Amino acid sequence: DAGVIQSPRHEVTEMGQEVTLRCKPISGHDYLFWYRQTMMRGLELLIYFNNNVPIDDSGMPEDRFSAKMPNASFSTLKIQPSEPRDSAVYFCASSFRGGIAFFGQGTRLTVV
Amino acid sequence: KQEVTQIPAALSVPEGENLVLNCSFTDSAIYNLQWFRQDPGKGLTSLLLIQSSQREQTSGRLNASLDKSSGRSTLYIAASQPGDSATYLCAVYSIKAAGNKLTFGGGTRVLVKP
């Protein structure tokens, strides 16, 4: 397996635009996590799924953020409309039954 | 709500010295604890996983201990090398009725000087 795959690796967008981040978890994993990392706040859990079902989205900062997992092999995190303060590195991670969490390489988002 | 703390936030040691990294958590109802390494501009790489029933886990020069009752874990890195310079993060899987939540500490940035 190629590991957790995120796309794009880098995204630069203008304020107000919609941004969609994508994640392909490791095949067979039943947990999927979306994190955001900034210098100021460190690594923050935004939302996580178990068997494609959102379990806890209390970390989603605002209604502008939404996440979906239509099937076991794909998830998206959408920001609409984007703002400069959303600039961060967004990580996706997956695990099997609460075991080792494997992280993707992240998407570096810059909103100008 | 689970809170994970890592102190110190940064650490600098000369090459060859042993590293001791600390992690504390507030809720002892955990499934496991994991230590990760993150290099600048990169993703996180899992180093060790300790199940809640275990007291320690070893991999090469790395040894991690877990004291669930006191809410603490320690990562030891023996005979540090410049290549060990990175940020080390601990994370706990908290037990919840509807699944497990992985919560991270703020990390300890380590610099090993040659």
What CA–CA distance (Å, rounded) separates B39 from B41? Answer: 6
pLDDT at A76 over 90: yes
Mean pLDDT to the nearest integer, A83-104: 94
**pLDDT tens, A6-48?**
999 999 999 999 999 999 999 999 999 999 999 888 899 999 9
From the list A108, A85, A84, A101, the residue with the least C-alpha distance to A45 is A101
What CA–CA distance (Å, rounded) separates B34 from A27? Answer: 21
Between B48 and B2, whose confidence is greater? B48
A48 touches chain B (CB under 8 A): yes
B108 touches chain A (CB under 8 A): no
B98 touches chain A (CB under 8 A): yes
pLDDT at B97 over 60: no
pLDDT grade for A1, boundaries at 50, 70 and 90: low
A4: CB partners within 8 A, 6+ apart: A23, A24, A25, A26, A92, A93, A94, A102, A103, A104
Q: Average model confidence (pLDDT) for chain B? A: 93
B104–A42: do the CB atoms touch at under 8 Å?
yes
What CA–CA distance (Å, rounded) separates A92 from A43? Answer: 11
pLDDT at A2 over 90: no
User: Cβ contacts (< 8 Å) between B6 and chain A: which residues?
Assistant: none
A31–B103: do the CB atoms touch at under 8 Å?
no
Compare all CA atoms of chain A with the CA of B106 and give the residue at the minimum distance.
Answer: A42
B40 touches chain A (CB under 8 A): no
Mean pLDDT to the nearest integer, B46-70: 95
List the beta strands (DSSP E) in A25-81.
31-38, 42-50, 53-56, 65-71, 74-79
- Closest Cβ–Cβ partner in B31, B46, B96 for A100: B46
In a mutagenesis test of the B interface, which of A31, A37, A43, A89 is the best target, namely the one with the most B β-carbons within 10 Å? A43
pLDDT at B47 over 80: yes
